[in-house]
Amino acid sequence: MKLKDKVCIITGGAGSLGLATARLFLNEGARLVLVDKDEDQLAHATETLVAETVIAVAADVSSADDTQRYVQVAAERFGPIDVLFSNAGNFGVVAPIADYPEDVFDAVQAVHVKGALLAAKYVTPHMRDGGSIVITSSVAGLRGDAGVYAYAAAKHAQVGLMRCLAKELAPRAIRVNTIHPGPIDNGFQLAVEDGLGRQMGIDGTEFFNQIIPLGRHGRAEEVARSVLYLACDDSSFTTGTTLAVDGGLSG
Ligand SMILES: NC(=O)c1ccc[n+]([C@@H]2O[C@H](COP(=O)([O-])OP(=O)(O)OC[C@H]3O[C@@H](n4cnc5c(N)ncnc54)[C@H](O)[C@@H]3O)[C@@H](O)[C@H]2O)c1
């Protein structure tokens, strides 16, 4: 029970990595607030988890009003917050720089960068000293690839945000880290690989299997276990760091 009675907010909680982490956190005794903008998926996620210690809030992480609302709901229902897993994400498109759509760029920064900033801004006043913030960046936050402009910029920006937060929050013993999954066997990554495959005229999934040193995609549960490590006291002396969970891709 590594998170016994800990209050944990998971954004993007209805998605693949969010739900896998929710399942693991629940098994470790956590009380959960799942936040996602997709109401149907959110309803499905809470049905799947079947637990009284889970509440769901439909919210857009890029909105300050929505962020204040989900934080308020969490604090009123459960009290001080112990863990923030800032994980909601969108991908954008793969395109050459001359064609890169400005509106897509803005939309991707809004979710990853502004979303993570707003979550930290409104959660930390309600956070218990000694808490933990984990932000889902990506292998794309550690390396660049042609065409992935919006996503790679946003995922790198989250690292800067994390490093600043880690310094400011250290006096309260609140630790802040980013996690960097490589390609995961799920719908989000499949959509990325379809786009990349079309752009390069190759099989995107096979391409990744060949360039990942461990020779395969990761599983959502493997990412969840690393999030748990950063969320709980097992990582009590770890802050301001980047944890790659990518089969060696960024090495
Ligand atoms: N799947 C991968 O291979 C992979 C690899 C590296 C990093 N990531 C990152 O992991 C995180 C989770 O992705 P996933 O693989 O679970 O994909 P997913 O699409 O299954 O989950 C993402 C969730 O975020 C939600 N979301 C999107 N925009 C939102 C907004 N504005 N407000 C609230 N919720 C919003 C979506 O509704 C969705 O449920 C993302 O940040 C993604 O960039 C994924």
Question: What digits encode the pLDDT tens for the residues 104-140?
Answer: 999 999 999 999 999 999 999 999 999 999 999 999 9
Answer yes or no: is the C-beta of 156 below 6 A from any ligand 1 atom.
Answer: no
Q: Which two tokens stand for residue 189?
A: 């990554």
Q: What's residue 198's pLDDT?
A: 86
Task: Give 187 Cα–ligand 1 centroid separation in angstroms.
Answer: 10
Q: What's residue 200's pLDDT?
A: 85
Question: Which atom belonging to ligand 1 lies closest to the Cα atom of 155?
Answer: 43
Q: What's residue 169's pLDDT?
A: 99
Q: How far apart are CA 234 and CA 145, in angstroms?
A: 34
Counting ligand 1 atoms within 8 A of each CB, the residue from 136, 158, 193 with the most, and so the one to mutate, is: 136
Q: Which two tokens stand for residue 203?
A: 């099989």
Q: How far apart are CA 58 and CA 176, in angstroms?
A: 25
Answer yes or no: is the C-beta of 85 below 6 A from any ligand 1 atom.
Answer: no
Q: What's residue 199's pLDDT?
A: 82
Domains in the chain, start-ordered, CATH in brackets? 7-183+219-245 (3.40.50.720)
Nearest CA to ligand 1 atom 42: 89
Closest-CA residue to 6 (of 35, 36, 28): 28
Question: Which atom belonging to ligand 1 lies closest to the Cα atom of 41?
Answer: 39
Q: Output the DSSP codes for 169-180.
A: HGGGT-EEEEEE
Q: What's the order of all strands across the beta sheet hosting 175-181?
A: 54-58, 31-36, 7-11, 81-86, 127-136, 175-181, 242-245
Q: What's residue 51's pLDDT?
A: 81
Q: What's residue 60's pLDDT?
A: 98
Answer yes or no: is the C-beta of 15 below 6 A from any ligand 1 atom.
Answer: yes
Question: Which atom belonging to ligand 1 lies closest to the Cα atom of 66?
Answer: 32
State the catalytic residues: 151
Residues in a beta bridge with 208: none
Question: What digits encode the pLDDT tens for the residues 130-173?
Answer: 999 999 999 999 999 889 999 999 999 999 999 999 999 999 99
- 10 Å CB burial of residue 118 (0-12, 13-18, 19+) is buried
User: Helix or strand or coil: residue 96?
Assistant: coil
Answer yes or no: is the C-beta of 67 below 6 A from any ligand 1 atom.
Answer: no
Q: Which two tokens stand for residue 85?
A: 């897993």
Return the biggest CA–CA distance within the chain. Answer: 52
Question: Which atom belonging to ligand 1 lies closest to the Cα atom of 14?
Answer: 39
Q: How far apart are CA 142 and CA 135, in angstroms?
A: 14
Q: What's residue 29's pLDDT?
A: 97
Inter-helix orientation angle 115-123/64-78, to 10° = 40
65 φ, ψ (degrees, to nearest 5):
-60, -45
Task: Give 144 Cα–ligand 1 centroid separation in angstroms.
Answer: 19
Q: Which residues of the chain have pLDDT under 50?
A: none
Q: Which two tokens stand for residue 194?
A: 């379809």
